[in-house]
Amino acid sequence: MSEMINQTEMREKYLRKGMLPSIFCNGCGHGSSLDYTFRAIEELGLDLDNMVFASGIGCSSRIPGYINADGLHTTHGRSLAFATGVKAANPELDVVVFSGDGDATGIGGNHFIHAARRNIDITVIILNNFIYGMTGGQVAPTSPKGTIATTAPYGNLEGAFDISELAKSLGAAYVARWPVFYPSQPIKSIKDAIQTKGFSLVELMSPCPTAYGRRNKLGNIKKLWDWYEDNSILAEEYDKIMNYGTDEEKAETINKIKIGVFQHTEKVGFFEAYEEQIANLMANDDKKWGGSK
Amino acid sequence: MIEVLDDWCKGCEICVNRCPVQALEISEIMNKKGVRVPRLKAVNKCHQCRLCEQLCPDFAITVIKEEKEEGEEKECKLIIGGVCAD
């Protein structure tokens, strides 16, 4: 393995230093996610001038502002629509979308499912903190049952969205979910996601001590980060316990969050398929379809 | 050696809590926001795994690789097949 990039060099190379320190709260995992993205880009040897970062509205959507590359800070939930436009105009660019859980599945839910269904060749990094953090802690579609939030003071009654399962069922080319406190796995996943053709999703579970942890009595930053560690389990292990475990083990595991790589396939992206179709039609230029021959 | 960009630190203590060998501590030094910043302990236990560097959400920590000095023996934390893999 080649030597990892030094943080001092990384600050110079990738960050808009005037924008930092970031606006993220103390103990928020969004900064770490940005760190992993930089390390993934560095390991792939990509040029930042050949990349575009798009985002919607929310805490996570502040991220492109810190990256020393072209970025789009767009309307709420519509980052995927803008990213689709960028990719359509110039398919050579690597488009990375940063989005929050509320932004991607709440406000922009339809954009998300249709971008995944059409298999647009972009990388989406969803930073899931289970809550609308920036607006003060309202219930998000991803909030687990029983979550205390400003709009659910006695506990959330709705079931939670499982973003990775949703993307998997929509046939996304790459789907992975990791918590932010293991560096190597997210870095590898982001690398794979950028390299994979087709719609690729990396869901990073990012702790929100201010809006989520504090209201749900999960304790200080250390306890909150430990809570995520205790409540997540590798998907393979989860399946093993569910199939062969004792009842006690099953009861212990059933409410844990599955992490891991859920899907990794190669698929032809929408715009490639589109160009192929045009080429086919040009070759069979028939009068029947309004052609010249 | 660990270099901390003091003014970017917000004092979340993630580096201190997550260090596998407890090499860091919160020092008495304050930055301009009044946050006590992390430093290496007086006895240097750091194995340069660079976990804190990767985890730091504020890009404040740099781990600088040190060459092992002659005759200096460190306690090995990770042994694979009888060989120190630090």
What 3 state SS string does A196-217 have? CCCCEEEEEECCCHHHHHCCCC
Closest Cβ–Cβ partner in A26, A35, A181 for B18: A181
* A285 falls within a domain: no
Single out the residue of A158, A157, A191, A187 nearest to residue A174, CA to CA: A191
Query: Which CATH number goes with the domain that contains A78?
Result: 3.40.50.970
**Residue reference for tokens 């929050």:** A100
Record: contact B58-A21, CB cut-off 8 A: yes
Q: What is the ipTM of this complex?
A: 0.82
* A180 falls within a domain: yes
Query: Which CATH number goes with the domain that contains B7?
Result: 3.30.70.20
Quick: pLDDT tens for A6-65.
888 888 888 888 888 888 888 888 999 999 999 999 999 889 999 999 999 988 889 999
Residue A34 CA to residue A37 CA, distance in Å, equals 5
Beta-carbon pairs below 8 A across chains A and B = 65
* A166 falls within a domain: yes
Question: Which of the residues A17, A26, A59, A180 would you substitute to probe the B interface, choosing the one with the greatest number of B C-beta atoms within 10 Å?
Answer: A26
Quick: pLDDT tens for B32-84.
888 898 998 888 888 888 888 888 998 888 888 877 665 566 666 677 776 76
pLDDT of the residue at B74: 62
Quick: pLDDT tens for A133-177.
888 889 999 998 888 889 988 988 988 888 999 999 998 999 999
pLDDT of the residue at B69: 62
pLDDT of the residue at A10: 83
pLDDT of the residue at A248: 87
Record: contact B59-A35, CB cut-off 8 A: yes
Which token pair is B29? 């030094």
pLDDT of the residue at A1: 47
Query: With 90 as the cut, is the pLDDT of residue A267 above it?
Result: no
Q: How confident is the model at residue A114 (pLDDT cuts 50, 70, 90)?
A: very high
Residue A258 CA to residue A232 CA, distance in Å, equals 6
* A287 falls within a domain: no
Record: contact A35-B57, CB cut-off 8 A: yes
Q: How confident is the model at residue A79 (pLDDT cuts 50, 70, 90)?
A: very high
**Spatial contact of A69 and A48, defined as CB atoms under 8 Å apart:** yes
Please check whether residue A36 touches B, CB under 8 A.
yes
Domain that holds residue A246: 7-266
* A40 falls within a domain: yes
Least CA distance to B11: which residue of chain A? A26
Domain that holds residue B77: 2-84
* A146 falls within a domain: yes
Q: In chain A, what percentage of residues exceed pLDDT 90? A: 34
Number of domains in chain B: 1
Number of domains in chain A: 1
pLDDT of the residue at A216: 84
